Amino acid sequence: MSDFSDEVLYSKGVEYYKQNQFDNSLYFLSKIKNKNLNTLKLIAQIYIKKNDTKKTRIFLEKMLILDKNNIFALNCLGDVNKLEKKYTEAEKFYQESISYDEKFVPALFNLASLYEDKGELELAKKYYLRVLKINDKNYTAYFNLQRLDENLITAKIIKKIDDELKLNKISNDKNIAYGHFVLAKNYRRKKEINKEISELSKGHKIFFNSDPLNKDAADYWLKTIPKMLNKNILFKNNDKNKLSDIEPILIFGIPRTGTTLVETIITSGDEKIYNAGENFIVQKALQNSQINEKIYEIEKSIIVDVSFLRKDIISSYKRLLYIKPEKFKLIDRTMTNFFFSEIFLKLFPNTKIINCKRDSFHNLIAIYQQCLNNLPWAHSIENIKEYISIYNSKLKRLEKYYKKNILNVDLKRLTEFPEDTSKEIMSFCKLNWSKKVLEYYDRKDLICTTASNIQIRKKIFKYDSDKFLPYKEYFDNC
């Protein structure tokens, strides 16, 4: 290995990166003695893919030592800070990136997205329009602009996008996929259901095929994890005398079931409650347990070291939320936590689970009408149906053994009887109810990074079951 030049090592690193073999790529890149900007950038990109913000930050900062005006590094540091919920810092890095290149689209787009998450919608529109002034074929910006204000996407723009897509020969580009989603929403608005579904189908197929990792990720959640967790779970080293005073509230459900609304209601009350949002804490703790041989599989069982896993999870929450006290109450709205809920309940027996739900057919269509870009299973009707089935089976088991730990919140009932339902939610969480919980839309500190970030800025509106009726004839076997 020492005989390889830096150029050869970099070339091998690039080769493995293109094959999505990130650990192999890092192996060669780490051997490079004189790491230039290109090497540091590639390493940072790998850690971005691996969701490791700490190491991403390290290599981005090394880039800035070599080039303090590097717009890629500044923009990515904005992303890292946003992931770490340091929104003011994120904005500063995006703005600094743009100050060196006012036409740097990634930073302009990220600023628009940040303002959207913060509810500063007029600013978000301004920056999306700046993106489109530079590149009027950025269909992702049109898609987000359409979510903010449908009237901004005129008939002339729709015709332009439609004409361009018909001429485009690229079939695996995420940007192209978003063009089809824009057309789909336009047809939905005109109640041309058949054309809407056709565009949705094209958009989802292109989006899914745009990244070879999507198939593996979909299989992971639809096959690998369910198969592994169907085994008998055995626990060891569970010292009940060392149970933490941590009081977790897990909010989960199939996407588009009101989890964001429930989370916002709870955090809008008078009492202090830490909000971990969506995170990778449980999954990473389980991975750490495997690496340290504190969790392992045998033929029909999984052995879990409770003490090790509990300590890892608590430490991760404290780092994420900057918590010092030993006793605290927190919300975790990671949607995939339902897979690991039985393990979580063993670690923290006082855990409260809020299961958000709605009519399954409505749920199916509501997911398919969105582009949930971080959920690879959400891009085909068959996969969505399979995920819903897995979820429902898991919840039946949970309700059988842990009924006292679970509160089911139906989205339709929540919208029809918001006061009664919100009182049930707060009582279940042992929190005081006040009218403030239903006046969440007046909050100045409300940050929302989900597909509900526009809806959550408004009062609760009554559930409309009828809007899904026209879709029945197109999905009669669902």
Question: For position 244, what pLDDT does the model report?
Answer: 66
Question: For position 117, what pLDDT does the model report?
Answer: 94
- Percent of the chain clearing pLDDT 70 (strictly above): 98
- Asked, for residue 21, whether it belongs to a domain, the answer is no
Domain final residue, candidates 159, 180, 210? 210
Question: For position 171, what pLDDT does the model report?
Answer: 77
> How far is residue 72's CA from residue 56's CA, in Å, rounded to a whole number?
12
Distance of CA 265 to the CA centre of its chain: 20
In a shared domain, residues 127 and 173: no
Name the band, by pLDDT with cuts 50, 70 and 90, for residue 51.
confident
For 54-65, the pLDDT digits (tens) are 999 999 999 999
Sheet architecture: strand order including 232-236: 232-236, 301-305, 295-297
Mean pLDDT confidence for 318-336: 90
Local structure of residue 323 (DSSP, 8 states) = -
- Asked, for residue 89, whether it belongs to a domain, the answer is yes
The answer to whether 161 and 203 are in contact (CB under 8 A) is no
> How far is residue 89's CA from residue 74's CA, in Å, rounded to a whole number?
11
What mean pLDDT, rounded, does the chain reach? Answer: 93
**365 vs 443, higher pLDDT:** 365
In a shared domain, residues 308 and 405: yes
- Asked, for residue 458, whether it belongs to a domain, the answer is yes
- CA angle 453/454/457 to nearest 5° reads 95
Does the pLDDT of residue 477 top 80, yes or no? no
> How far is residue 392's CA from residue 397's CA, in Å, rounded to a whole number?
9
> How far is residue 213's CA from residue 215's CA, in Å, rounded to a whole number?
6
In a shared domain, residues 275 and 359: yes
Give the type of residue at 141.
A
Give the type of residue at 194.
N
Question: For position 1, what pLDDT does the model report?
Answer: 46
For 363-409, the pLDDT digits (tens) are 999 999 999 999 999 999 999 999 999 999 999 999 999 999 999 99
In a shared domain, residues 169 and 231: no
In a shared domain, residues 302 and 436: yes
> How far is residue 141's CA from residue 134's CA, in Å, rounded to a whole number?
11
Does the pLDDT of residue 259 top 90, yes or no? yes
> How far is residue 274's CA from residue 438's CA, in Å, rounded to a whole number?
19
> How far is residue 112's CA from residue 403's CA, in Å, rounded to a whole number?
43
Residue 299: burial class (beta carbons within 10 Å; 0-12, 13-18, 19+): exposed
Q: Which structure tokens are listed for 83? A: 């992931």
Residue 101: burial class (beta carbons within 10 Å; 0-12, 13-18, 19+): middle
- Asked, for residue 374, whether it belongs to a domain, the answer is yes
In a shared domain, residues 175 and 307: no
Give the type of residue at 70.
N
- Asked, for residue 17, whether it belongs to a domain, the answer is no
In a shared domain, residues 400 and 344: yes
Question: For position 2, what pLDDT does the model report?
Answer: 56
- Please give the torsion angle defined by the CA atoms of residues 205, 140, 258 and 314, in that order, rounded to the nearest 10 degrees: 90
Name the band, by pLDDT with cuts 50, 70 and 90, for residue 164.
very high
Domain final residue, candidates 185, 210, 235? 210
For 17-48, the pLDDT digits (tens) are 999 899 999 999 999 999 999 999 999 999 99
In a shared domain, residues 90 and 199: no
Model's pTM, two decimal places?
A: 0.91
In a shared domain, residues 312 and 430: yes
Residue 98: burial class (beta carbons within 10 Å; 0-12, 13-18, 19+): buried
Does the pLDDT of residue 478 top 60, yes or no? no
Question: For position 242, what pLDDT does the model report?
Answer: 59
Domain final residue, candidates 101, 117, 135? 135
Q: What DSSP assignment string belongs to 288-317?
A: HHHHTTSEEE-SSEEEEEHHHHHHHHHHHH
For 65-87, the pLDDT digits (tens) are 999 999 999 999 999 999 888 99
In a shared domain, residues 347 and 431: yes
CATH code: domain of residue 51? 1.25.40.10
CATH code: domain of residue 401? 3.40.50.300
Domain holding 126, by residue range, is: 35-135
In a shared domain, residues 176 and 192: yes
In a shared domain, residues 146 and 65: no
Q: Which structure tokens are listed for 182? A: 């824009």
* Residues facing 233 on adjacent strands: 302
**Domain count of the fold of the chain:** 3
- Asked, for residue 29, whether it belongs to a domain, the answer is no
- Asked, for residue 26, whether it belongs to a domain, the answer is no
Question: For position 111, what pLDDT does the model report?
Answer: 97
- Asked, for residue 12, whether it belongs to a domain, the answer is no
Q: Which structure tokens are listed for 421? A: 């339902």
Distance of CA 383 to the CA centre of its chain: 18
For 208-253, the pLDDT digits (tens) are 999 988 999 999 999 999 998 888 999 998 876 656 678 999 999 9
